[in-house]
Chains A and B, each alone.
Chain A
Amino acid sequence: MTEQILLEVQEVSRSFGKFQALSNVSLKIQPGQLCALIGPNGAGKTTFYNVVSGRYRPTSGRVFFEGRDITRAPAHRLVGMGLLRSFQITNIFPALTVLENVLVPLVVHHGSSFSCLGAIEKRRNLAEEAEQILSRVGLTGQSHRVVSTLAYGDKRLIEIAIVLARRPRLVLLDEPTAGMNPEETDRMIRLIKDLSERSDTTFFITEHDMKVVFSVAEKIFVLNQGGLLAEGSPEEIRANPHVKRAYLGGSLDAAGL
Chain B
Amino acid sequence: MNSLLRGHVLPASLILLALMAAPLFLSMYGVIVLTEILTMSLFALSFNLLFGYTGLLSFGQAGFFGAGSYFAVLTLIHGPDSLWAAMAAAFIGSAVLAVVIGWFCVRLDEIYFAILTLGFGMMLFTIAHNWRSVTGGSDGLGNFTLPELNLFGWGVNLFNPINFYFLVLLITALGALLLFRVVNSPFGLLLRGTRENSLRVSFVGANVRAVRLFAFILAGALAGLAGALFAFFNRIASPEMLHWSFSGKAVLMTILGGSGVYLGPAVGAAIFFVLEHVITAYTTNWMIFLGGILVVLVLAFPKGVLGSLLGLLTRRWKGPKP
Determine the distance from Cα of A96 to Cα of B192 in the docked complex, in whole angstroms: 8
Minimum C-beta distance from A113 to chain B (A): 5
Q: Mark B187-206, 1 if CB is under 8 A from A, else 0.
A: 11110110011011111111
Query: CB distance A92 to B200 under 8 Å?
Result: yes
Question: Which residues of chain A are within 8 angstroms of B312 by Cβ–Cβ distance?
Answer: none
Determine the distance from Cα of A197 to Cα of B229 in the docked complex, in whole angstroms: 62
Q: Mark A64-78, 1 if CB is under 8 A from B, else 0.
A: 000000000011110
Query: CB distance A80 to B205 under 8 Å?
Result: yes
Determine the distance from Cα of A166 to Cα of B199 in the docked complex, in whole angstroms: 16
Minimum C-beta distance from B206 to chain A (A): 5
Chain B interface residue bracket vs A: 20 to 34
Say yes or no for A1: interface residue by CB 8 A criterion: no
Most buried by A among B190, B201, B207, B210: B190
Q: Mark B45-56, 1 if CB is under 8 A from A, else 0.
A: 000000000000
Determine the distance from Cα of A109 to Cα of B184 in the docked complex, in whole angstroms: 18
Query: CB distance A118 to B203 under 8 Å?
Result: no
Query: CB distance A123 to B200 under 8 Å?
Result: no
Say yes or no for A115: interface residue by CB 8 A criterion: yes
Question: Which residues of chain A are within 8 angstroms of B208 by Cβ–Cβ distance?
Answer: 76
A-B CB contact pairs (8 Å), 18 listed? A76-B207, A77-B205, A91-B197, A91-B199, A93-B192, A96-B189, A96-B196, A104-B204, A112-B186, A114-B187, A116-B187, A118-B185, A119-B4, A119-B184, A119-B185, A121-B3, A121-B184, A123-B186
Residue of B nearest to A100 (CB): B189
Say yes or no for B107: interface residue by CB 8 A criterion: no
Given A95-B196, A96-B193, A122-B2, are A117 and B202 neighbors across the interface (CB < 8 Å)? no
Say yes or no for A176: interface residue by CB 8 A criterion: no
Given A91-B200, A114-B214, A120-B188, are A108 and B205 neighbors across the interface (CB < 8 Å)? yes
Q: Pick the contact of A120 from B185, B204, B210 — CB < 8 Å?
A: B185
Name the interface residues of B144-202: CB closer than 8 Å to any CB of A. 181-182, 184-190, 192-193, 196-197, 199-202
Given A116-B181, A120-B184, are A93 and B190 neighbors across the interface (CB < 8 Å)? no
Given A80-B205, A117-B182, are A92 and B197 neighbors across the interface (CB < 8 Å)? yes
Besides A116-B186, A166-B204, 9 more A-B contacts (Cβ < 8 Å) are A76-B202, A76-B207, A103-B189, A116-B214, A116-B218, A118-B185, A119-B4, A120-B184, A120-B186
Residue of A nearest to B178 (CB): A117
Q: Mark A81-99, 1 if CB is under 8 A from B, else 0.
A: 0001100000111111000
Say yes or no for B274: interface residue by CB 8 A criterion: no
Query: CB distance A115 to B187 under 8 Å?
Result: yes
Q: Pick the contact of A108 from B197, B204, B214 — CB < 8 Å?
A: B204
B-side interface residues toward A, CB under 8 Å? 2-4, 181-182, 184-190, 192-193, 196-197, 199-208, 210-211, 214, 218
Determine the distance from Cα of A165 to Cα of B193 in the docked complex, in whole angstroms: 15
Say yes or no for A34: interface residue by CB 8 A criterion: no
Minimum C-beta distance from B106 to chain A (A): 14
Say yes or no for A201: interface residue by CB 8 A criterion: no
Q: Pick the contact of A166 from B187, B190, B205, B210 — CB < 8 Å?
A: B205
Given A114-B214, A116-B181, A116-B182, are A162 and B189 neighbors across the interface (CB < 8 Å)? no
Determine the distance from Cα of A123 to Cα of B188 in the docked complex, in whole angstroms: 13
Q: Pick the contact of B203 from A84, A120, A123 — CB < 8 Å?
A: A84
Question: Which residues of chain A are within 8 angstroms of B201 by Cβ–Cβ distance?
Answer: 104
Most buried by B among A53, A94, A108, A165: A108
Most buried by B among A80, A119, A122: A119
Question: Which residues of chain A are within 8 angstroms of B188 by Cβ–Cβ distance?
Answer: 116, 120
Determine the distance from Cα of A162 to Cα of B214 in the docked complex, in whole angstroms: 24
Say yes or no for A252: interface residue by CB 8 A criterion: no
Given A79-B203, A92-B200, A96-B196, are A104 and B184 neighbors across the interface (CB < 8 Å)? no
Minimum C-beta distance from A13 to chain B (A): 23
Q: Pick the contact of A117 from B4, B181, B197, B206 — CB < 8 Å?
A: B181
Q: Pick the contact of B189 from A107, A122, A165 — CB < 8 Å?
A: A107
Q: Mark A110-141, 1 if CB is under 8 A from B, else 0.
A: 00111111111111001000000000000000
Residue of A nearest to B208 (CB): A76
Determine the distance from Cα of A55 to Cα of B211 in the docked complex, in whole angstroms: 19
Q: Pick the contact of B4 from A85, A94, A103, A121 — CB < 8 Å?
A: A121
Question: Which residues of chain B are within 8 angstroms of A109 by Cβ–Cβ distance?
Answer: 204-205
Question: Which residues of chain B are within 8 angstroms of A93 by Cβ–Cβ distance?
Answer: 192-193, 196-197, 200
